[in-house]
Amino acid sequence: MAFCTVQFFSEALVVAVSVNVIYPEKNMGIGVEAGKTEELPQVLYLLHGYSDDHSIWMRRTSVERYAAKHNLAIIMPAVNHSFYCNEVHGERYWDFVSEELPRVMHSFFRLSDKPEDTFVAGLSMGGYGAMRLALMHPDRFAAAASFSGALDMASRVSDPKSAARFANIFGENTSIKNTEYDLLYMLKKQAKAEHRPRLYVSCGTADGLFAAHKKFCTQAKKTGWDLETEEIPDAVHEWGLWDSQIEKFIASYIR
């Protein structure tokens, strides 16, 4: 696999940005099985968590090796603490990730633009971002995955203990319940969308976000989404779990 750090000027953020990209090659070298297809690469947008950046998936997992035999390009942006949103007091990260990033990546690389070849996944904050992308634009993705995701942000934003952390993103004294930022609401709103991606949602039972995971899964099942869930006994918020989960998602959902 080729590994590239792409630096370009973002019009959405009005600043130079860095995005990491893994791109398929026919010959991968010793010990790595390569895909044989001549088709344009499939695309996975892979999102980082709250304390990380665009480098973290390469540093903490073997995602390059997992992608090698699937003719899969992986695009890894950085969004700081934004929860992949346009911040009330800050930057337009939603515009960057949802509109500008796909457009720029397709201009730089030969990539399939078919929805059946396009995927999104993320961990923790990135799980929220992945599900929001899939629910806001269900026609763009074949499948979406959340690993230990922050999937009930409406409850977190309304909690006085954590509200200050999210004031720059969503505003002060603001409820996001039943808005486009509320994934539980979006599951219901998009329940009759003409095309709906498959959803894979996993979390450890000892993770602090497990209750949010359960609420999301209950709502997804209630509203008829094609949902696969995995609840890992006693697992916590850690990279050994996420390494195994991204390997499983790629192997199970990407041809």
pLDDT digits (tens, 9 = 90+) for 116-143: 999 999 999 999 999 999 999 999 999 9
CA–CA gap between residue 82 and residue 243 (Å, rounded): 23
Q: Poorest-confidence range of 4-18, 24-38, 225-239?
A: 24-38
Tell me what the mean pLDDT of segment 60-69 comes to.
Answer: 95
User: In order of start, what are the domains of the chain with their CATH numbers?
Assistant: 2-150+195-253 (3.40.50.1820)
Query: Which pLDDT belongs to residue 35?
Result: 66
What does pTM read for this prediction? 0.96
Q: Of 24, 44, 42, give the one whose Cα is nearest residue 34.
A: 24
Residue 164: the pLDDT is: 82
List C-alpha distances in Å: 83 to 30, 67, 153.
38, 25, 10
State the amino acid at position 18 in one-letter form: S
The mean predicted confidence, pLDDT, of the chain is 95
Q: Read off the amino acid at residue 16.
A: A
pLDDT number for residue 30: 63
